[in-house]
Structure 1
Amino acid sequence: MKVRQLGAALATLSIALAGNAAWAQTNASETPAPVHNIVLVHGLYADGSSWEKVIPLLQAKGLHVTSVQNPTTSLDADVDAVKRALDQQDGPTLLVAHSYGGMVISQAGDDPKVSGLVYIAARAPDAGEDYAALTRKFPAAPASKGLQWSANGYGKLSENAFVQDFAGDLPIQEAQAYYAVQQPAGRAITTARTTIAAWHDKPTWYAVSTEDRTINPDLERFMAKRMNAHTVEINASHVSLISHPQQVADLILEAAGQQTQ
């Protein structure tokens, strides 16, 4: 009798766990529970100011917004910066990342405060996956030809690559202003691999930039589909968060369970 009861209990537990896993991998078609805290994570060749047009749109909805300043010296250092920001949040938090920042939130996103992950034209390798090798399965993005390395091992995009291939749908003067604040990236980032892919366990959203010349749009679609993310496509360059802030904010608000109208 006890054996049958134990078997029934294990079966019930198995069903419950399967249900939780299935929920975590939905395409977010159901409205998520409202989230008050938003932590924004920038990518390479940028800093926290890349979110400056999105932030007021989120704040206008009453959300508490934090834009992390990643050192972009190594993946571990950037994950630590995000974790420090998470420590300062007072409850469930949505992590949002642009570009390389997707690797950072995939690693940091297993924090129990994190309720979901939003990727904006972002990297999303699996745990232990070689992201550079993954990119080679798709045609190379033009911006990579403009990456320049200093003698001390830090890289940045040339002005031409930044203006044309990174931020190609911005007015030239605006693109040049963002070029002026780009942070050099540590060479260690080029070979870094995440040990965690939190998107396996957390609800995810993804915004593909259809005119991206920094990450191949088909690679973005592949990563979004693999994580079973709720996906939107924005007719934008790599910096959709700057050129199309309302569309990016709308996706974040949806992920946060907020009204977008």
Structure 2
Amino acid sequence: MTPSPTVVLVHGAFADASSFSAVVPQLLGDGLRVVVPAVPNRSLVGDSAYVASVVRQIDGPVLLVGHSYGGAVITVAGAEPNVVGLVYLAGYALEEGESLGELQGGFPDSDLAAALVYRPYPVDGGTDGTDVYVDVDAFPAIFAAGVDPDLAAVLAVSQRPLAGAAFAEKAPVAAWKTRPAWGLVAAADRTINPEVERFGYRRAGMTVTEVDSSHLVMLAHPDEVVRLIRDAVRSTTG
């Protein structure tokens, strides 16, 4: 029998590794190896290269789990030879040669579009870049509905921004074309239009689950997320 994969959990924009805090204990309790890297959120290609470097240093098979923007990251990083499956949580499943902006542009905007805040950050040897945040006051309702309000307030003021340039970068590869993939649609998502999630998953031929959840499904509905990851683990271990 194929050994159980190491589960690598890849966070998205406006969040960090702690967004998986309700999921990790259950996976560890199953005896699984878990890695939750801190994604730089600077560029799609650069972030994917970073996650790929983490994957390459893991002995044995890897199951990549990507939330939101992390879905775009695993779409590229998932081409590493030891990746045996991909799990998308309210995520972007990009086609090869497609950008986040192009995928989103085919559907009506979510409520997030009107709640974004843009701030400059310095770039060595060049003009300032632009960081994208969610307005702190809007964050709980748009990004974290169903999450404990005190926790949502902490997440709102500690969010990890995404560089604006990442929205225009095209995915150089789509790993779901050569890997089994599972997709979770957050049906009450106000951050990504759920139709964007459904379209990407359907195009990729994924096994799809829908949960009546806000965007931060790992914190709002951790049991459902763990159940999906367990299904993917079982499938990839035969």
- Determine if the alignment matches structure 1 residue 50 to structure 2 residue 19: yes
What residue identity is the alignment partner of 1:145?
A
Name which of 126, 145, 152 aligns with 2:114: 145
| Pairing 1:1-261 to 2, within 5 Å after superposition | 35-152=4-121, 153-257=130-234
Q: Percent identity?
A: 37
What residue identity is the alignment partner of 1:57?
Q
What is the distance in 2 between the residues matched to 1:33 and 1:180? 42
SS for the counterpart of 2:53 is helix
Q: After the TM superposition, list the runs of 4 or more consecutive aligned residues in structure 1 that deviate by more than 2 angstroms.
A: 32-36
What is the distance in 2 between the residues matched to 1:171 and 1:180? 15
What is the distance in 1 between the residues matched to 2:225 and 2:74? 17
Please list the CA deviations of residues 144-183 of structure 1 after superposition, one character each: whole Å capped at 9, or x if unmatched: 2111111331111111221111112223211111122211
- What TM-score do the two structures reach when normalised by structure 2? 0.91
What is the distance in 2 between the residues matched to 1:249 and 1:174? 20
Q: How big is the alpha-carbon RMSD for the aligned residues of Structure 1 and Structure 2?
A: 1.5
Q: Which has the larger radius of gyration?
A: 1
SS for the counterpart of 1:68 is coil
CA contact (8 A) 2:99 2:167 kept: no
Q: How many residues align?
A: 227
Please list the CA deviations of residues 81-102 of structure 1 after superposition, one character each: whole Å capped at 9, or x if unmatched: 2122212211011000000011
Unaligned runs of 5+ in 1: 1-31
